[in-house]
């Protein structure tokens, strides 16, 4: 007997360039899902790299290892009914697809803004350095980013307010039956 999606765990995988809005969306989405009765865990790339993936660098091999580790933990949590939000650049399509395949209950969210906008925001001051050639392997400047061909949700954070972006993810989860978002009064 299959379990209704409302009882199932799900991984919400936010992929996109540094500063695109992954952490911001994750931080807003998590309490919204808790309000809807979901158990939630957030795996943020920056945090993961200080513990689970401590010591890994930014070569393709290390990036793939990092994403596989995040995928492994996400899978365990998802199997146990948790809504897992992953916020990680995850630049390589093949590894994202591999993780999706393993987890099954998985929605891919492309968090997008143009490079011009990201340089304007320069949230962490990294783009300026990367453009000056001071950071090797900086995704989007000196390292590749393979955008999803068919993301389940595309967030254009250059045009949308954070609330709109979060609402789009919730609408997709609702459409797939993972949550029931009450209609706005
Ligand atoms: P990332 O986690 O992808 O590196 P951050 O979340 O740290 O990016 O930074 C994203 C920046 O973009 C924040 O300053 C945030 O306020 C801004 N922003 C503007 N619009 C949005 C949106 N719709 N969704 C998410 N962030 C947005």
Model confidence pLDDT, tens digit, residues 61-116:
999 999 999 999 999 999 999 999 999 999 999 999 999 999 999 999 999 999 99
Ligand 1 pocket check for 22: Cβ under 6 Å: yes
User: What is the number of the ligand 1 atom nearest to the C-alpha of 20?
Assistant: 3
- Look at residue 169 and tell me whether its pLDDT is greater than 90: yes
Between β-strands 106-112 and 153-156, what pairing exists: parallel, antiparallel or unpaired?
Answer: parallel
166-to-19, 48, 59, 63, 101 alpha-carbon distances in Å? 16, 22, 31, 27, 24
**Phi, psi dihedral angles at 162 (to 5 degrees):** -55, -40
The span from the CA of 72 to the CA of 180, in Å, is 27
Instruction: Report the separation in Å between the CA atom of 26 and the middle of ligand 1, taken as the mean of its atom positions.
Output: 10
What pTM value is reported for the model?
0.95
Quote the ligand 1 centre to 7 CA distance (angstroms).
Answer: 30
Nearest to 46 by CA among 90, 106, 98: 90
């Amino acid at each position: 007997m299959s379990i209704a999606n409302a009882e199932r765990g799900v991984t919400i995988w936010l992929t996109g360039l540094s500063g695109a809005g992954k952490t911001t969306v994750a931080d807003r989405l998590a309490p919204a899902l808790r309000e809807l009765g979901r158990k939630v865990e957030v795996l943020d790339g920056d945090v993961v790299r200080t513990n689970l993936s401590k010591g890994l660098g930014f070569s393709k091999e290390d990036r793939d290892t990092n994403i596989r580790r995040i995928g492994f933990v996400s899978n365990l949590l998802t199997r146990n009914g948790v809504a897992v939000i992953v916020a990680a650049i995850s630049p390589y399509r093949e590894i994202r697809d591999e993780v999706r395949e393993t987890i099954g209950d998985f929605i891919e969210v492309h968090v997008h803004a143009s490079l011009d906008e990201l340089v304007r925001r320069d949230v962490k001051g990294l783009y300026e350095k990367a453009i000056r050639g001071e950071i090797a392997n900086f995704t989007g400047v000196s390292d590749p980013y393979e955008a999803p061909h068919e993301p389940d949700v595309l967030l254009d954070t250059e045009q949308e307010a954070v609330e709109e972006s979060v609402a789009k993810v919730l609408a997709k989860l609702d459409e797939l039956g993972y949550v029931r978002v009450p209609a706005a009064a």
